[in-house]
Chains A and B, each alone.
Chain A
């Protein structure tokens, strides 16, 4: 056993928290964490000693999650851009046990949900989130902005939107 195992084990609680919020389902989340741990252990030789183990493992988890989501898409040859992601139905989570915030999360496209969770829940910096998700930092900012605004509407915090609904 090496000291790396301790480093990996330390990540489990946060990986589970993130996976639970991402999938909205306890069993699916723990499966995702297990796949992540196995892949991390089998690729430990690729981890640069001294670099951020947490970011490395979240990157692995993100890649597994995206690949699994893509394999569940109806048209897997389509790229995972914002428009298809908006339309795509990722494994329908059991959000019934979660209240408002979970319901709002579930309505976000996957790539907005990941940003909101990495930044808001896991407290990654924008730069770290950009590296985990392998997108430019500007993309992180625009997704964060859209996601938070959409959640605000969903959670009933947007009075303008409510007023517009009344008028309509």
Chain B
């Protein structure tokens, strides 16, 4: 009678308890004749037991709070995606509206007020971090943003109209850095003034206006710089403020 061939794979399968009973019996017979191999398999079994002794206690640990699924599920991906989808949808609507209003303009001209409106919608509801640099550091704010945009900026003061400066931030524009200044009135109503560097000396344009979902934007070019004033206020009120901004920038 020939003895069945026992392979290395059989021995491991025996250790892991996955051999069919008949085959397992053959391997047992082989091991009875080969005590060194039997000792080797015993060492492998001891390894597995040691792994369980060492790491099974992890199963009974209370997982840290960061690993609770409901929190992950709601606080992280879903909310994040929902927010992104919402902003894209709103941006699309605003962009469509701006495009419709200025459909005869070059696409480049329509894209930046759209960005201004989206930036307004994104940052103006912020409670804790509406701006990067506050109005208490106005000189620093203006110097910093002027340096980043590569053009001397001026910050209009709208106190006479009931709006005080909150501060400003640097944003990515289509061609490089842009600035956003934020104002608010006594009731917390906020306006943002978006300032970009024009790609060339575009001369001057009249005020143009677009509105969607209650966000109005007056925008105009003034040689080197383009301005867009956004707010959720009445069109006439926004025009009054835009006019005041224009006058302060062009005394």
Contact = CB atoms under 8 A, between A and B. Distances in A.
A and B held together in a complex: yes
A151 to B, nearest CB: 6
Given A1-B73, A98-B54, A120-B51, A16 B61 contact: yes
A111 interface: no
A20 B63 contact: no
A103 to B, nearest CB: 11
A43 to B, nearest CB: 10
A42 B78 CA distance: 8
B18 A125 contact: yes
A104 to B, nearest CB: 8
Contact of B18 (A20, A126, A145): A126
Which interface class (under 10, 10 to 19, 20 to 34, 35 or more) fits A?
35 or more
A13 B67 CA distance: 10
Interface string A62-80: 0000000000000000000
B67 A34 contact: yes
B50 A101 contact: yes
B76 A38 contact: yes
Interface in B16-67: 16, 18, 40, 43-44, 46-48, 50-56, 58-61, 63-64, 66-67
B152 interface: no
Contact of B72 (A37, A100, A144, A158): A37
B56 A17 contact: yes
A119 B64 contact: no
Contact of B70 (A1, A125, A145): A1
Interface string A85-100: 0000000000000111
Given A101-B47, A119-B16, A157-B46, A20 B77 contact: no
User: Which of the four size classes fits the interface of chain B?
Assistant: 20 to 34
A34 B64 CA distance: 10
B43 A144 contact: no
B77 A42 contact: yes
A152 interface: yes
Interface in A122-168: 125-126, 141, 144-145, 148-149, 151-152, 155, 157-158
B70 A30 contact: no
Contacts of A155: 43, 47, 50
A141 B10 CA distance: 10
A117 B69 CA distance: 25
B157 interface: no
Contact of A121 (B9, B43, B52, B66): B52
Nearest to A100: B50
Task: Decide if the interface of chain A is mainly helix, strand, loop or mixed.
Answer: helix
A117 B51 contact: yes
Nearest to B74: A1
A46 interface: no
A98 B56 CA distance: 13
A81 interface: no
A126 B10 CA distance: 12
B51 A30 contact: no
A72 B69 CA distance: 29
A8 interface: yes
Contacts of A144: 12
Given A30-B66, A41-B72, A141 B47 contact: no
B12 A141 contact: yes
Interface string B156-200: 000000000000000000000000000000000000000000000
B8 interface: yes
Interface of A: 1, 5, 8-9, 12-14, 16-17, 20-21, 30, 33-34, 37-38, 41-42, 98-102, 104, 116-117, 119-121, 125-126, 141, 144-145, 148-149, 151-152, 155, 157-158
Which 9 A-B residue pairs are closest in the complex by CB-CB distance? A157-B43, A101-B50, A17-B58, A120-B48, A9-B69, A13-B59, A121-B51, A152-B43, A21-B55
12 contacts: A5-B70, A13-B63, A16-B61, A34-B72, A41-B76, A99-B54, A101-B50, A120-B51, A126-B16, A144-B12, A148-B15, A155-B47
